[in-house]
């Protein structure tokens, strides 16, 4: 009798955290639906989604064995969040990328946040070599179109070198946002699109006042088709070295936890609010064109976020989800589950292959995809 009571009591105690995790999971799923200009704090819960999914799966198995009725709690939560679960994990385990063999009818697209072309070497003496390694890594993949974020260029020699010149021979067409101009215009940084094929139109669309960056698009003539490529970079948290140290202190619950938390939360609030505005602008710009389009870049937000769902909508595929597997981490810092860089072609494109390349040359991984435009069926005679 006492043993039976202990078992019942233990199960009852374990039921409480199961309910709490289920509620937290549902709240995290709401992040993709609620505009973070007002509900920014819910957006922060979306960062926890991969971990909550795993906990709920184990909870479901545990309760299914010990108390089947209780297994309905995690099961119901997972069903409610199925739309979000589908964008967090990819299941194409045996997909591969063949660099050498490329159909000439396809577009090979590279997207990469290159961290100002400095590389991530901690030794300044090594950084001058990284820009050439970055360019060589990209061109070794033989892409047709290259979209880079946090790209810099200078017409002078020195630490800010002629980075456009590293690509111009193989990629004679480019469009550069030049969001930041320093040294009387001799140094610029921003987003850039390089292309082997003619750019027949390009435009820079500025974000609202107070945000220095912009997003750009280029209409590229590929064979008989014109394709619009959007290169976007959304607001980051602007964490500095001290912030990353503060995050570690929060994890270890040190004495400075409260002060560190306040500073970090303020930066997160600003980032979520700005990304909501930026995502709406990008979506509106993409919806206004009749050209087949591809959106790529650094969203600075996870797949279960408002920004991702707003930009992707229902008319685009996620190249990672179609041709890769796992959670697809694209950013090194903070957590191993941060997929914040994307290639999102319209449904008019077929995704032939996709890969994430880790060369330890930036704090982001490189994304590469082969895409082909689906042809309309011939009309019946």
**What are 183-223's pLDDT values in tens digits?**
776 788 999 999 999 999 999 999 987 777 899 999 999 99
Q: How many residues does the chain have?
A: 381
Helix boundaries (H) for the chain: 2-29, 36-45, 49-66, 72-80, 82-88, 124-140, 241-251, 257-287, 306-312, 319-323
Q: What is the pLDDT of residue 380?
A: 44
**pLDDT over threshold 70, residue 253:** no
Cα distances (Å, whole numbers) of residue 218 to 141, 176, 264, 299, 310 = 21, 10, 36, 19, 21
The 10s digit of each residue's pLDDT in 91-138 is 988 888 998 888 889 999 999 999 988 766 555 555 555 888 999 999
CB atoms inside a 10 Å sphere around CB 247? 17
Contacts of 289 (CB under 8 A, 6+ apart): 228
Residue 219 Cα to chain centre, angstroms: 23
The 10s digit of each residue's pLDDT in 333-379 is 778 899 999 999 999 999 999 999 998 899 999 999 999 998 865 44
The vertex-51 CA angle with 49 and 53, nearest 5°, equals 70
Q: What is the pLDDT of residue 286?
A: 98
Task: Compute the chain's Rg from CA coordinates.
Answer: 23
pLDDT bin (cut points 50, 70, 90) of residue 154 is confident
The 10s digit of each residue's pLDDT in 258-278 is 556 677 888 888 999 999 999
The 10s digit of each residue's pLDDT in 34-52 is 999 888 889 989 999 999 9
Backbone angles phi, psi at 157, to 5 degrees: -90, 160
Q: Which domains does the chain have, with CATH numbers?
A: 2-88 (no CATH), 107-373 (3.60.10.10)
Q: What is the pLDDT of residue 161?
A: 78
Sign of CA dihedral 43, 247, 357, 96: negative
Q: Are 306 and 315 in contact (CB under 8 A)?
A: no
CA distance linking residue 122 with residue 145, whole number of Å? 30
CB atoms inside a 10 Å sphere around CB 197? 18
Indicate whether this model's pTM tops 0.85. Answer: yes
Locus of tokens 């494109």:
349
Q: Are 303 and 87 in contact (CB under 8 A)?
A: yes
The 10s digit of each residue's pLDDT in 294-336 is 999 999 999 999 999 999 999 999 999 999 999 999 998 778 8
pLDDT-above-90 percentage for the chain: 66
Mean pLDDT over 158-176 rounds to 88
CA distance linking residue 323 with residue 368, whole number of Å? 11
Query: How many angstroms separate the most distant Cα atoms in the chain?
Result: 84
pLDDT bin (cut points 50, 70, 90) of residue 56 is very high
Q: Are 314 and 347 in contact (CB under 8 A)?
A: no
Q: What is the pLDDT of residue 381?
A: 39
**pLDDT over threshold 70, residue 240:** no
Structure tokens at 38: 């007002």
Mean pLDDT over 148-170 rounds to 84
Q: What is the pLDDT of residue 279?
A: 97
């Amino acid at each position: 009798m006492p043993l039976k009571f202990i078992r019942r009591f233990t199960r009852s105690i374990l039921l409480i955290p199961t309910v709490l995790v289920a509620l937290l999971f549902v709240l995290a799923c709401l992040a993709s639906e609620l505009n973070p200009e007002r509900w920014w704090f819910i957006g922060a819960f979306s960062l926890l989604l991969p971990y909550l999914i795993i906990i709920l799966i184990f909870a479901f198995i545990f309760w299914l064995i010990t108390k089947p009725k209780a297994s309905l709690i995690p099961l119901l939560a997972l069903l409610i969040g199925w739309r979000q679960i589908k964008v967090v994990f990819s299941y194409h385990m045996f997909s591969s990328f063949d660099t050498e063999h490329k159909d000439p009818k396809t577009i090979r697209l590279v997207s990469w946040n290159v961290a100002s072309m400095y590389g991530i070497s901690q030794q300044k003496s090594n950084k001058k070599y990284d820009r050439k390694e970055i360019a060589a890594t990209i061109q070794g993949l033989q892409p047709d179109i290259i979209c880079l974020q946090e790209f810099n260029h200078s017409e002078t020699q020195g630490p800010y070198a002629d980075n456009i010149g590293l690509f111009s021979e193989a990629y004679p067409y480019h469009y550069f946002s030049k969001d930041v101009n320093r040294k009387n215009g001799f140094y610029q940084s921003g987003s850039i699109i390089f292309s082997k094929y003619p750019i027949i139109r390009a435009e820079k669309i500025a974000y609202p006042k107070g945000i220095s960056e912009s997003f750009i698009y280029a209409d590229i003539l590929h064979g008989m088709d014109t394709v619009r490529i959007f290169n976007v970079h959304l607001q980051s948290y602007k964490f500095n070295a001290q912030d990353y140290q503060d995050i570690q202190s929060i994890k270890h619950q040190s004495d400075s936890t409260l002060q560190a938390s306040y500073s970090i939360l303020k930066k997160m609030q600003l980032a979520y609010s700005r990304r909501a505005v930026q995502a709406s602008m990008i979506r509106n710009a993409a919806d206004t064109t009749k050209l087949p389009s591809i959106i790529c870049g650094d969203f600075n937000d996870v797949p279960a976020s408002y920004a991702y769902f707003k930009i992707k909508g229902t008319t685009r595929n996620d190249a990672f989800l179609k041709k890769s597997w796992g959670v697809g981490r694209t950013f090194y810092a903070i957590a191993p589950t941060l997929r914040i860089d994307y290639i999102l072609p319209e449904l008019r494109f077929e995704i032939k292959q996709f890969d994430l390349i880790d060369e330890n040359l930036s704090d982001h991984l490189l994304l590469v995809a082969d895409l082909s435009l689906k042809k309309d069926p011939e009309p019946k005679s």
